[in-house]
Amino acid sequence: MKRLIQFSKYQGTGNDFVLIDNRLNHFPKDDQPLVARLCDRKYGVGADGLILIEHHDTEDFSMVYYNADGAESTMCGNGGRCLVAFARKLNIINHSGSFMAVDGVHHAVIADDQVKLQMKDVSDVQMVDGAYFLDTGSPHHVALVNSVQDLNVPEVGSSIRYGRYGTQGANVNFVTPNEDGSFFVRTYERGVEDETLSCGTGVTAVAIAMHYAQKTEHTAIKVQTPGGNLQVSFEHSAQGYKKIFLTGGAVHVFDGSIVIND
């Protein structure tokens, strides 16, 4: 039996996604091999993850996110920003909107291809053997290194992802301060099990961790990734970090359809 699946491809600073309009509930959400096949870069469309946009009773839409391995996962910041751009393309929203994700409601504003997405509050940052651990919608390990450009991120990231955090794992971020006060970040993502060009929840975690570690006094922080630049802003108090926003480009790459042989 052949199945035709319509999709749109988006990317946010090189973090790319297959986006599918599932408001009619036609997509088989429990078919993990199908999701993995669509994300495969040789036998499918190719992406770091797949996202379904669906109806929601109180928000403009809802977000269902899958890692490239086909498993439904935690929040994806760049994916959320791309989904906002997709929602505008579908005329679900115009210049702003809100959606429900696995970690709660997110508000967003979009202008041209720039999306400013509110992330979940962060009240707890933990020290882990000289590194930092925090949850920004997904769990993140943040480690300062002398020269992130020279690091073997897949090898070192994998060893930390499995060796320290076990089967459930965590995303692993390596960060080096730049001379201009910004930070350069490279991320190993669980579920992709490789380095990605950018990670939105990872960039958010890095900005908060660097402020927590007193590596910066700024509450609007520029972060460079291999795929491009993002900005994280927040308010800080004794209770933690609130009004956290992740801002950057969300670009429509192409629309297409793919035939799946069941």
Give residue 221's domain range.
Answer: 126-247
Mean of all residue pLDDT scores within the chain? 97
User: Beta-carbon neighbour count of residue 239 at 10 Å?
Assistant: 8
Do residues 60 and 169 both lie within one domain?
no
- Considering the chain, what percentage of its residues have pLDDT values greater than 70? 100
Do residues 82 and 104 both lie within one domain?
yes
Tell me the three state secondary structure of residue 109: strand
Do residues 200 and 187 both lie within one domain?
yes
- Compute the distance between CA of residue 192 and CA of residue 241 in angstroms, rounded to an integer: 28
User: Beta-carbon neighbour count of residue 126 at 10 Å?
Assistant: 11
Do residues 10 and 81 both lie within one domain?
yes
- Compute the distance between CA of residue 65 and CA of residue 81 in angstroms, rounded to an integer: 12
Nearest to 8 by CA among 189, 230, 251: 251
Do residues 57 and 70 both lie within one domain?
yes
- Compute the distance between CA of residue 47 and CA of residue 14 in angstroms, rounded to an integer: 10
- Could you say which DSSP state residue 119 is in? P
How many structural domains is the chain composed of? 2
Do residues 223 and 196 both lie within one domain?
yes
| pLDDT (mean) for 203-226 | 98
Do residues 180 and 220 both lie within one domain?
yes
Q: Over 90: is that where the pLDDT of 1 sits? A: no
Q: For residue 110, what is the domain's CATH number?
A: 3.10.310.10
Do residues 24 and 110 both lie within one domain?
yes
| 82 labelled catalytic | no
pTM over 0.95: yes
19, 20, 39, 76: which is the annotated catalytic residue?
76
pLDDT at 185: 98
Quick one: how many helices (H) and strands (E) in the chain?
4, 17
Q: Are 233 and 118 in contact (CB under 8 A)?
A: no
Do residues 95 and 172 both lie within one domain?
no
| pLDDT (mean) for 27-35 | 96
Do residues 48 and 160 both lie within one domain?
no
63, 117, 199, 208: which is the annotated catalytic residue?
199
Do residues 113 and 181 both lie within one domain?
no
Retrieve residue 175's tokens. 């960060």
Retrieve residue 11's tokens. 């990317």
Q: pLDDT band for position 190 (50/70/90)?
A: very high
Do residues 216 and 192 both lie within one domain?
yes
| 76 labelled catalytic | yes
- Compute the distance between CA of residue 99 and CA of residue 87 in angstroms, rounded to an integer: 10
Q: Over 80: is that where the pLDDT of 30 sits? A: yes
| pLDDT (mean) for 227-251 | 98
Q: Are 227 and 17 in contact (CB under 8 A)?
A: no
**DSSP string for 57-99:** SSSSEEEEEEETTS-B-S--HHHHHHHHHHHHHTTS-SSEEEE
Q: Over 80: is that where the pLDDT of 252 sits? A: yes
Tell me the three state secondary structure of residue 170: coil
User: Beta-carbon neighbour count of residue 42 at 10 Å?
Assistant: 5
